[in-house]
Amino acid sequence: MNVTIVDYNSGNISSVINSFKEVAKDKVNIEVTSNLETIRSSDKVVLPGQGSFKSCIDGLNSIDGLIDILNEFALESKKPILGICVGLQMFADIGYEEIETKGLRWIPGKVSKIDNKGGKFKLPHIGWNEINIVKESKFFKDIKNRSHMYFVHSYKFTPDDKSVITATTDYSSNIVCAVEKENIFGTQFHPEKSDKIGLKIIDNFINL
């Protein structure tokens, strides 16, 4: 099996690479590339994202044909794809970080700033937070509800269709932290920074 981590200059993705390689061992081939043919022929794709919504969308647009290949992979071939942090947020129609920016439009919804209740809640939201698994998913196989995951974000994804939500976390409000729509999976938290539980989630994605 080939799993490709998309490298589009979205910040330091070494922890994503290292954790996938640790889980995969010799059973799965992990590639890190922006090569379009490699992505197209992969069995699964991981879309990491660090920085702002706009900078990540700009990063995808800077590689000619990359968004077309990702659309083909996710929407036509319907092969499993995992978005992490801003990688998940880019599934939305639109994001409001920096300036209004169009997303990939895979899961209708918007990305907006977390309401910090007049400074009561620190932004960015950094650290371990409990997740509430609201829908059964192979993605969360053998993960206990109320497990703690590692977060770093100031913006949140609000999908129009609540049925795609698989987990939420409570920080200022009830924030969507995992989604699933057919073959499209996303986490607002960082599984690669969430210790053994995070590695189990990566293992679940590889084994889908």
Q: What is the DSSP string of 145-158?
A: TT-EEEEEESEEEE
pLDDT, averaged in runs of 10, over the chain (208 residues): 94 92 93 97 97 96 98 98 98 96 98 93 96 96 97 98 98 97 98 97 97
Task: Please tell me which residue in 56, 85, 97, 153 is annotated as part of the active site.
Answer: 85
**What is the spatial distance between Cα 160 and Cα 195, in angstroms, rounded to a whole number?**
31
* 109-113 β-sheet, strand order: 101-102, 94-95, 109-113, 155-159
Containing domain of residue 121, as a range?
2-206
CATH number, residue 51: 3.40.50.880
User: How confident is the model at residue 70, as a pLDDT?
Assistant: 98
Dihedral, CA of residue 19, residue 46, residue 107 and residue 189, to nearest 10: 20
Structure tokens at 56: 């990540």
Active site residue 130: no
The count of structural domains within the chain is: 1
**What is the spatial distance between Cα 74 and Cα 166, in angstroms, rounded to a whole number?**
19
User: How confident is the model at residue 9, as a pLDDT?
Assistant: 87
Active site residue 190: yes
Using an 8 Å Cβ cutoff, are 111 and 53 in contact?
A: yes
State the Cα angle at 164 between 180 and 113, rounded to 5°.
Answer: 100
State the Cα angle at 141 between 56 and 10, rounded to 5°.
Answer: 10
Cut 0.95: pTM above it: yes
